[in-house]
Structure 1
């Protein structure tokens, strides 16, 4: 496993958090078999994880699963409901019985003239029972626009990305409250979260205390997309988002955050480049070296950090 061990003290002014040492590493070397892998989430008990595998240009996306047995991850397997449509950005409910995701699959009985992404889910009665057929989350959330990257709080409030004309500019972060029966209409998060640029792929903490997401090409960024964190004040208002710093963020794209509150581990996707030029004995050595990760393609990383 290629690891990057860096020590620093990272300060984020609005909520005073510091880490004496941050160590960012690839999640698991078994995922190096895929050119592009992204959108990681893990179950509450840490024994099941889901992620997206993509073609080189990102036009083909499918969902995969791994299980942990005897402290080792199993070989990845394709989720059974995936078909010729795109499936990506999975989020598992607290009880592990509902899996949310984004897909451009058409609804049954509809004639599609132009595809767009909606938020869908599948259910199971228990684990490891089979998943149901995909179910569209409904018109209170989904629209003629693209909806991406669903993430839910403990009370089932939904946060997601949408490229709607009601936004601040490009992609923006919205949320829908859950009343126990259905979702309310999407609400755009405030100017401390969204801007005229791109904001996307948000993860909400279980208590809605903080939000992790990507801002693209910002003046205080490290380049391309960076991960930011925003917190609520005592009135429940979102405060100005802060960059997570140059240990987590690189000059390349960082996106798709997921935080395991139990293990205090941040998982995220990065296109960082950490490999350099060198001499090779043969092509097999070359192939192994360039495929190990941190090669400019989407890979999943992890870092222990407390928010």
Structure 2
């Protein structure tokens, strides 16, 4: 009996430690679910960050009703992706929205961890951790030119060191706007609204800016012609001004919330998170097996990270 129990325990441990199925397919046009967590069924996966050399990923596991948010990670070693684990710097406080620097040596993220003392903050600030000797250092909170007593979210860093992020502040045009800070003299300067036609009196959120600063993909609520609760748009930087946003269309956007865009550093793939659902509001009488199939399908209203080849999409959008 002891041998049977031990075997069962070992088998369970092996299953929980199985290497994740992470692939970067090339020849497809419809967005695919990128990663699945069989140990956390129907739990929100919120965002995605992939290192420039494609050998490390970070993403947020978002508990029901935002009860707790933590960053998970996997690393590719000798050609094999390692089992998911809580990031070395995460797991104690609400942490979300990881983003690599252009060279992969830094990882920015938003957190409610204490700024001073031991009490968690009620608002999100932006922190950064640096990779030294293949290990991530203790995160550092960015200075007061970036962080405030309001929320700062969704960092995105360009090749010239500019830090873009979104924030809910007194000077926003809408509830949440996009800001940018230059990196000069070894530190970040006072953040400014990006200007142009990016920020509106509506709600702009989750802004990813391309490494060369030529375009931004971001979420927005309340715009005329939108598909759902929140859509993804792209704006191009031309003649020194951010242009009018273009809706990414129904292949990307759904009647539900679509958010957290990210493009790999080589521009090859667009990642985004969606609450899209293919569950209908009525069926013929369902058996238990059929009900399980309906409720457990990937597009069931729970946040999932999707990806799709982006280069041809980008070229089409540039011509619009």
User: Higher helix proportion, which one?
Assistant: 2
- Name the SS of the counterpart of 1:302 in structure 2: strand
Query: In structure 1, which of residues 236, 241, 245 is the aligned counterpart of residue 245 of structure 2?
Result: 241
Q: Contact 1:29–1:292 (CA<8 Å) still a contact in 2?
A: no
Q: Distance in 1 between matches of 2:175 and 2:284?
A: 40
CA offsets, 1:5-41, max 9 Å, x none?
xxxxxxxxxxxxxxxx831110123468351001101
- Name the SS of the counterpart of 2:199 in structure 1: coil
CA offsets, 1:238-297, max 9 Å, x none?
1111101111111111100000142610000000002455776646x7446523421101
Tell me which residue corresponds to 1:100.
108
- Name the SS of the counterpart of 1:156 in structure 2: coil
TM (norm. structure 1) is: 0.85
Deviation, structure 1 residue 107: 1.9
Query: In structure 2, which of residues 38, 47, 71 is the aligned counterpart of residue 63 of structure 1?
Result: 71
Moved more, 64-73 or 215-224: 64-73
CA offsets, 1:166-217, max 9 Å, x none?
1102011011111141111111122511111110100010110000000113
Tell me which residue corresponds to 1:126.
133
Seen in structure 2, the aligned counterparts of structure 1 residues 72 and 302 have a Cα distance that, compared at 3 Å, is farther
Q: Contact 2:102–2:158 (CA<8 Å) still a contact in 1?
A: no
Deviation, structure 1 residue 110: 7.0
Q: Contact 1:99–1:122 (CA<8 Å) still a contact in 2?
A: yes
Note the residue ranges of structure 2 that are not aligned, 5 or more in a row: 1-20, 22-27, 315-320
Q: Distance in 1 between matches of 2:230 and 2:85?
A: 29
Tell me which residue corresponds to 1:115.
122
Note the residue ranges of structure 1 that are not aligned, 5 or more in a row: 2-20
- Name the SS of the counterpart of 1:57 in structure 2: helix
Query: In structure 1, which of residues 238, 252, 256 is the aligned counterpart of residue 260 of structure 2?
Result: 256
- Name the SS of the counterpart of 1:23 in structure 2: coil
Larger relative contact order (Cα-Cα within 8 Å, sequence gap ≥ 6): 1
CA offsets, 1:103-137, max 9 Å, x none?
0111243767x62111001122133x2x2222101
Q: Distance in 1 between matches of 2:87 and 2:265?
A: 25
Tell me which residue corresponds to 1:301.
306
Larger Rg: 2
TM (norm. structure 2) is: 0.81
Tell me which residue corresponds to 1:26.
33
Q: Does 1:274 align with 2:278?
A: yes
1:166-177 map, 5 Å: 166-177=171-182
How many correspondences in the alignment? 284
